[in-house]
């Protein structure tokens, strides 16, 4: 759902949320970590991703061990020579 649709839907569901004395707050958005598409934070069931597709792509990368922290291999016997 687009940002403006979310805002309109929220107002139509509960118009008392709108206070005449308070400025309208825009929906916060951020880039999807997978595809970099600008994505709304509020009301996004897939956050931090923009869609289920991006979420599953990232999950697949974790399952395939594509994300690794680089380490330095040390021979077990060398650990105790210090």
**pLDDT-derived band at 72, boundaries 50, 70, 90:** confident
Measured CA to CA, the distance from residue 37 to residue 54 in angstroms comes to 10
Q: What's the pLDDT at 27? A: 77
Q: What's the pLDDT at 49? A: 95
Q: What's the pLDDT at 23? A: 72
Q: Is the pLDDT of residue 66 over 50?
A: yes
- Is the distance from CB of 27 to CB of 7 less than 8 angstroms? yes
Could you tell me which residues come within 8 angstroms of residue 68 by beta carbon, excluding any fewer than 6 positions away? none
**Degrees (nearest 5) of the Cα angle 12, 37, 55?**
90
Q: Is the pLDDT of residue 31 over 90?
A: yes
- Is the distance from CB of 17 to CB of 11 less than 8 angstroms? yes
């Amino acid at each position: 759902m687009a940002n403006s649709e979310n805002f309109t839907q929220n107002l139509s569901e509960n118009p008392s949320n709108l206070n005449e004395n308070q400025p309208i707050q825009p929906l916060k958005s951020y880039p999807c970590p997978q595809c970099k598409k600008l994505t709304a934070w509020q009301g996004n069931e897939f956050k931090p991703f923009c869609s289920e597709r991006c979420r599953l792509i990232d999950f697949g990368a974790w399952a395939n061990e594509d994300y690794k922290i680089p380490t330095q291999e040390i021979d077990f016997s060398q650990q105790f020579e210090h």
